[in-house]
Amino acid sequence: MIGKSLDIGSSVIRFFSKNFYTLILFALVLISAFSSIWLFYFEIVKDTNPLSSIPAHIVKTLFDAMVLMSPFFVVKRRGFVFIPLILLDVFCLSAVWYYRNYLDIIPFSSFLLYENLTPLLLESAFASARWIDCLAIVPTLMTGVLYKFVLQKKVQKERRRLWWPVIVILSVFVCFHIFLSVRDIKSKQYDSLTDRFVTFPNNILYFDLNGMCGYILYHAATSLLPQPELTEEETIRIQDYLDAYPRYADNIYSVNENKNLILIIVESLNSWVIGKSFCGEEITPCLNRIVNDSNSITAVHVLPQVKDGRSSDGQFMFNTGLLPLKSGAVATRYDDVDYYSIAKALKRRNYTAVNMTVDGNNYWNQAEISVAYGYDQNIDRLGGGTSVTDSVLMERAIEKIKVQKTPFFYQLITGTSHKPYNEPYRKTKLSGATEFPEEVRNYMEVIHYTDRCIGAFVDSLRSNGLYDNTVIAIASDHNQLLSPCGVPDYNDTEAAFIVANAGVKYTHTSVMGQIDIYPTLLDIMNCNDYAWKGLGYSILRTPVGSAAGWNGTVYGNEGDSLASRQIEAWDISEKIITKGYFSLK
């Protein structure tokens, strides 16, 4: 026994002596990886779940870092380890910046949307940076410098493949997670070893349970596995769900028959700004006039139901009446589906459908998805080389509309009010509202600008004799989280839906979802004979008082009679989109 112990001890000593500088480099790489993952944990997971165990995550983060960097031992050129290390840094830093804006983890599929990598998006990301983010950058830079100028030649002399450290790391990692699963079964939290890996309420809590490696493996598996087709049971469930919707085909707003429709989707419009004035300046004078008009619809308690597709998810709901995917963007993953849509409903009556956006056709896959929505024409950047301002969008739109054959449906997608909110070139009195943080003041200024652009557009419709025969719907693509503020009525979690020249005066005072906009537009435009009325409810017919988020949380009246169906709608929508339900109809 003593002899064997001595042999093992001498083997360990020989291993360390032969690979001394290699192990020093691995320790430095390990610290760098640990630092990035810890930033991810502390800024996202701990912020979401304050009860998350820090000691447990120290162990998880250490194991994750070791597993992710373990290829270091099996490549002779040790410098290659900086490739996965830098990729890890980029992911963790991107995830933290994404979370600070959207309160979720950035989906891996978003990294493939290189077309979305515009100067505006980069500026928005950098605006979210904080000093603590250096945890994902500085350790890697320092390790790189030490490797280049101190360790590289010494490590190269020790160059050999070492498989057994990898085997040990992976074995201990697996045993650790088996231990966690067994512990959870004994505490009756789960019933089987695999439950903790497949049962979770959201991405952040999944990471909290299973760490970085578990999170990566789960999403890699779910992305690569083929989506099964609808089962007979699922088809019946979807049909039964749809059959329970109110059935109606009457058009009670005949005053709007064959009127033109213009849908203006406003970037990041928080509804709390509507009707507000500070320092003697209205934030949204144009929208205020519409709200106060006797021929308008107003809803300022709209729950944003966008997910990973953000702006494109808003467009998706308004156009199709379906909820977005819980993971990934519909616009890029399912752009080949033959969707029912507001454009197709109107085109049965000889409408021309045109989509105009300030961004390029490749941004959120506008070129392909606009075809799926049924638009006859998609105009991006309006002939310019880069994204254009909202004023240019409105000016070019009115030029086309003046010569457009009627009836028509135009969708105008703004973009100037996208984050970041820098100091405006031309300040108004709103910049003097010092009770707000600087970011909020700048936000009010940019919304004031976009409102002015919309006002000029509406005035042009009037001067060209088009206003009286046109319904103008204005909807937020999503909300925008801003700096915390204690000013009364300040709320950056609700969106808006406003309709000018609607044929009716109606103010929706309770909560509704973005999913309810599609059936309401069908109602306003006398398209109730269209078979597909979406998964929401027309607020002109149904007393909607609640809405459900993707995680099952009900907003508004939690006891609302529609709440259970609103929750189920997310699952129904997911199956309709991903399993080809429309191809069966």
In the annotated binding site, the residues are: 267, 418, 477-478
296-303 and 506-508 strand pairing = parallel
* Radius of gyration of the chain, Cα coordinates, nearest whole angstrom: 28
Cα separation, 548 vs 514, whole angstroms: 10
Q: Supply angle C-alpha 224, 228, 233, rounded to 5.
A: 155
- Reading the block at residue 471, the tokens are 């319904």
User: For residue 135, what are the contacts with CB-CB under 8 A and spacing of at least 6?
Assistant: 35, 36, 38, 39
3-class DSSP assignment, residue 300? strand
3-state secondary structure 491-532: CCCCEEEEEECCCCCEEECCCEEHHHHHHHHHHHCCCCCCCC
Is it true that the peptide bond before 420 is cis, omega within 30 degrees of 0? yes
Q: Could you write out the DSSP letters of every residue in 26-63?
A: HHHHHHHHHHHHHHHIIIIIHHH-TTS-HHHHHHHHHH
3-state secondary structure of 337: coil
Q: Is 17 marked active-site?
A: no
Lookup: tokens for 147: 């490797």
The DSSP H or E segment spanning 329 is: none
Nearest-angstrom CA–CA distance, 474 and 264: 5
Of 52, 70, 311, 460, catalytic: 311
Q: Give the active site residues.
A: 311
